[in-house]
Structure 1
Amino acid sequence: MPAALRITLTTQEHQTLKELEVAECVPRRTKQRATALRLNAKGGKVKAIADYLGWAQSTVRQTIHRWNHHGLAGLWEAKGRGRKPSWTSQDWEALEQWLQEPRSISSRQLSQRWAKQRQVFVGAEQVRRILKKKWRWKRFRKKPPVPKNPELKAAKKRDLQTLKLWAQEDLITLLYLDESGCCSESPLYYGYSPIGQQKSISQRSRKGRRVNIMGVWEQDNRFEYTLKVGTYNANSYLRFMEWQAQKAMKRLFETGKPTVIIHSGRFNPSCQGS
């Protein structure tokens, strides 16, 4: 019967092996070897460790011998082992360029595009494992389609402060208009972004019908709205504003205060053909 194998780990070695087990950039086999060594140092027998990891007992013994002869370096495979990559550095650069495009693209789409344009035949799961080293699948940020002019933005901010002051002094009725809605599909976009960064894409219109709400809000007073299935167009927008104009005219006769409606910067209906 083979003699029992047992290793002794220092506090530093135990901590190093524990960190290797949860490190993301470490191969799976290396993590398993670190687990086997820690279990053996705690008193685990070769058979119990083999059953826990799904290994043969000879593999556990080989791992312990590699640790005794090579130390920490014995946890990694020597260079030249394993299947060689089927892609080149130029193929990888092309893949990273596709990931920089302002759109959401999945690992399956990348796999198909790699095969079609670069003749690199790799499955979607393998693409995910490759990207895991430098990229993460996460939500994209949305940014306005057109950058705002800083001077124009500052001027509008000053106008807004003036209107708020007039409203506080009860000189005008100040209303805020905005439009929103919900789709049958999620409006969030996900894709691959470099580790530690978040990719941004421009806002764009979504196809399909959705439930929309357009409303005006007066601070600490009231909120009036209309609902519509589908996108608000020029005609529906003008009907809503006509309704508000009639109420503003009535308010002017009763109180003598004009009404000012501030539009949200995101809402800009087209008035072509109206």
Structure 2
Amino acid sequence: MLVTGAGSGIGEACALRLASQGWQVALVGRRRAALERVAQRCDGLVLAGDAADSATWAGFIERVRTRFGGLDAVIACAGGHGLGAAEQTSDGAWGEALRSNLDSAFHTARACLPLLRERRGSLVLLGSIASLAAGPEVCGYTTAKHALVGLSRSLARDYGPFGVRVNCVCPGWVRTPMADQELQTLMAHYQEDLDAAYRRVTTDVPLRRPASSVEIAAVCQFLISAEASIVTGTVITADGGSSVVDVPTLPFTRLEPSA
């Protein structure tokens, strides 16, 4: 199998979890040192390069075929920020948001589909609850993550007849290095530590906490498993329940007695 964004966060957790279950894993990412650190723990194949650059994929696929003979599954975790409202988003920032969050998934899928077709494999794209709703001043990120759902559905429709399943996982807050960095603004404003910042952003999440990378990796593992053999074209939210909250009624929540 192959995992993009495998050097940290959810990608790393997916690689380690699947390797522990006996999968051979190819690790794709831009930071070679991070990939090599993960590879030491899972005997993974390091493929250092930008998943959003189509020119890198021919060499990657050749090395995967040589090492593994083919591909049974791909988990596309590569992504990045896309901060700022539209008026504050430069051409460069807009392009980078789409490149890191959408182009990376598209080029991964397009390159890997021939191998997945051979083995009737499975592809999982990592979206976000930003794929389903808009947060404040994250125009590029929200747009790219919404488009990722469309990409997963298009792939599921076109490649289902070849036995390839494609699904999209949409996490909420997950404790990852990227999320840690995003919370620095809150930490500075409220003069609080990282744990307090996570509690603040999950105050209205029904489970009252962020996910761990391992929990999201477990969802991805299910989707590529035989137990999910009829599941394709779906969007699975793994957000602690935050997407079911009726935001306009939150003021009334303060009136309810604690459980």
Q: TM-score range by the shorter chain?
A: under 0.3
Max radius of gyration: which structure?
A: 1
Of Structure 1 and Structure 2, the greater helix share is in 2
Of Structure 1 and Structure 2, the greater strand share is in 1
- For normalisation by structure 2, the TM-score amounts to 0.21
- For normalisation by structure 1, the TM-score amounts to 0.21
Larger RCO (alpha carbons 8 Å, 6+ apart): 2
